[in-house]
Each structure stands twice: as C-alpha cells, then as structure tokens.
Chain A
Amino acid sequence: MTQVHLQPWILQLALWLMLGVAVVLLLIIAFARLTRRRRTRRQSGELRTLRRDILEVASGDDEEGAARRRLDTLPPRLFRAVLPTLIGLLSKVRGAPARAIVTILIAHGAVTLALNDLTARSGTRRAQSAWMLGLMRRDRSVHRVIPLLEDRDRGAAVTAARSLGMLGDPRAASPLVEALQPGARGRGGLPSWVVVEALVGLGPGAATEIGDALHREDPTTRAAAALALGLGQHVSQLPRVRELVEHERSPDVLAAAAEAIGQLGSLQDVDALTRLSGVDFPRAVRSAALRSLGEIGGAPARDVLSGLLADEDPRIGDLAAEQLCQQGTPGLEVLRGLAQGAGAQGASARYGLMVDSLRRDRPLEMA
C-alpha cells in the first residue's frame, strides 16, 4: 500500500478555497432571496392595482372594456400571477362577466396552451387543462377532452368527466356512460357520482342516450343512468324508468329508479312507489321509495306514508315521518293526528313533529 504525503500548504490552500466557495454560495443565496423579496413586493403592489381591474371585469362593471383591455395586455409574468384569481372567479360568476374573463384568458393564449397540455407528460397538467377548457366552455374541445376519460391518471380522468359536464355537449353522453366500465390497467371505472353529475350537465339533448343506458347489462350503469335522468329532469324518459321499475331485480338500480320517479313522476306513480316501499324490498329501496312519495306528495302519498309510520323498521317509520313533515301543513296535520297514539306509529309521528320544531326553531306542537 502506497502512502501519499501532502504538503501542508496544499491542505491550507484547499481549506481557503472551500471557505471562499462557501462565502460565494452564501452571497448568492442572500442575493437571490433579496431579489425574490423585492420582486414579490413589487408584484404584490402591481397585483393590488390589477385586483381592481379584475373585480371590475368580474362584477360586470367594466362597461367600456377598459379594465379588460389592460388585463388583455398584461406581460406574461403578471398574467401568471393573476391567473389563479381569474380561474377562481370564472367558476363562481356567470353571464357577461364570465365571458369577459374567458376573453382575457383567450388573449393570453390559454386555450391553445390548455389544448396542448391535454397530452402533457404530467397528469396534473392534463387535469388542469381539461378543467380549464371546461370552465371556459370551449365546446369545440369536447372531442379532445373525451379521450382523457381513459387517462392512466385517475385524477385526470375524473377531471375530464367533470369538464365534459361543464362543456355540456350531448356527444359526451355515450363516452361518459362507457367510462363507468373498468378498463385495462386500472383505467376507466370512474365513480358513479362523477359520471352522473357530468351526464346531468349535458342537458336535454342527452336524454335519449342516457335513457338507452337503462338497458345496459351492468347494474352500475343502469343505476347511474336512472339517477342522471331524474336529476337532469328528463321527463321524456319517464316511461322507460317506469318500465325499468317493473322488471328490475338489482336493489341498487331499483333504489336509483325510485329516486328518479320522485323527481320526474306524478300521482300516477304512487302505486309503483308503494310497492317498492313494501317489506319485501331492502331498506335502501324502501327508503328511496319513501323519499319519492314525499317528493310527489298529495293525499294518496300521505296515506301510504302515514301507514309506514307503524313499520317494524324504526328507521323507515322515522323517514316516513320526515317526509310528512316536508309536505308542510297537510303532512303535519297527519302527524299531529297520530302523535297521541301508542306504539311505533305514535312514536314516529312524535319524532316527525320534534324534527319539524327543531328545523323551524318553533315550539313543539303535538296537537
């Protein structure tokens, strides 16, 4: 083994060099921090001025368009700084102010950037781009967002579905329904509520396509379609939902269809809902049928609900009481008439009146 002998002056020089490098690094860090602090201070001053312009645009007070023009011509550095505020406000205002904000975003090339970023390597950027296109209501980008429903990044796929709901183009109905099915390598299989919400956003033009999904083999798809038809107020599809209730076996689908009938149906549906509220069905189906009876209201529905106050399942009895409460005076009169009685029916009626008094912050009236 050979030994290396270093001269002391070499060691000393190395030590001085290291010290020198450390001092230079410290100076660089201090300089960078100082510059950043100055830039932040200058930027926050500029942002304060710009905030007034942003508020003027977002409130619809910029009638001459002067504030919008100033924001249109911002240098990229400042535009990046105000972008989160603009995006935030875009999701909260509608009408002319929303259109003015979109104009500013377009002036800064945000649409082109978002379209390009739909294929970015980062899943977060793909999701942000889809979200932005949805917020900007760029309906021409629908065909570019649809493929993201199959994105390998689940966050991007979910955001794409929500973006399609905002874009509101009925052409997205079929791809959204398909996105409920689990695909290869963990793709697809989007949560039902995300797809339902997006389908609702597609408007009346998507009614038939969603109605067709009631005949799919997969119960998750049938349930999602039924919920979307109800929430979307697609009355044209009510006959198909009624037909589904007649033949359906899956409790999840029956519960969803019962909910939909509550939103779309009429007194004509009380018989079907009464059947679904019977003891032969699981609690989820019975509960949905009860809520729908409450939605439909009217004397026949109240008769069924008052009978269910005596149900052997106390949760069903209490739910029936809540539905009677929601019908206002006629429902409360039914409850008051039964509140003095013994047994489950009286107990549920008293529960209903108590809930009503708490909700309305009024004294309890039992009779």
Chain B
Amino acid sequence: MPKVKAERNELPKKKPRTRVTMKNGKVELVTMNGAKRPSYTRDSVMRHPAIGTLRNRSVNVIDISKIESSFEKNHKLFINALKKLAAISNLKDNWNDNGAKRFENILLVKCFTILSTLEKFPPEIFPVADGSIQFEFEKEDGSYLEFDIFENEASEFVVYSGGKEVEKTIACDKIAKEVKFFYERTGE
C-alpha cells in the first residue's frame, strides 16, 4: 500500500482545466471545479496557453466574444421559437376574432419536429389564419426566407437581397436543408 501512495505522489500535478466566459463585457477564466479566477483583460486571455496552442497550429485568430454572443443569441432565439410554438398550440378557435380555426395536433407535432432541426438557425414563428404555421428567416443582407407549413407540405418563399423572388412547394422534411442552403448562399 505505501508503494501505491508513493506512485500517486509521483504523478505530475495537473493544471486545473479552465473555460473562458464573457460576463458583463468582461472576459473571465473559470476553473472546471467552479472556482473563479480574477477577471482577465482580452490581451491576457489571448495569451492563455490553450489559445497559444491554437495559434501555433496556424488557426485563424478566434474572436471569443463573437462566437459566444452568437451562440447565446441563437440559443435565446431558439428558446423563443419553442415558446412561440407552444403558445400557438394553445390558440383556440377564432383566435384572430375572424373565425380562424385552432391548429391541428398533427401540424403542431410536425412543426415541433421541424423546429428541432433548426437549433442553429432559429426561425421566427407565426400563426396564419389559413391554418398554416409560418417560419421566417432573415439575413443581414436583407434576404428573406419563409415557409408556410401545412400538414402535408410546405410552401417556400425566398426573396434574395437583389430582389429576386422564388416560390415553390416542398416536402416538410426538406425544410432544414433549404434553411442551411439559404444561410450558406451569398447574395443573388
């Protein structure tokens, strides 16, 4: 038994693992056991050994704040979309005071399924009086993508930044692919 103890003592001490977080505009390093280290300036964070390693591998400079704020923004939008869809599922007959019917369960389940594939590109969601549910996406360059989702299919409408419009009917299981294509495509 003492031998084992001796071996343990010989093990090199591991440095505590840390993660980088942004809080109130300040960059902080937090150890994985939860202990917070003092706030660091951006320069000191960029000298962090982990980031230094990445530099040595010729990885492009990483803007931590951009990655983090983009992730937080998308996560918030995704949660908002889930909440909105939940609210739509609670709408009763005549929800628009003009005779619109409540949304069918089969459509709601379909929309939740589609939304679950869109965590990276969360849509804005709206009820439509014709019984469909509308998913909207907009890029900073002004291009716009819209799906009116029905039980059996979806009607897609794209407006590119140059003003060109395209409308077509697609199967619902193709929506995630179309959205990804929309965000990866540059202006037209």
The answer to whether A and B interact is: no
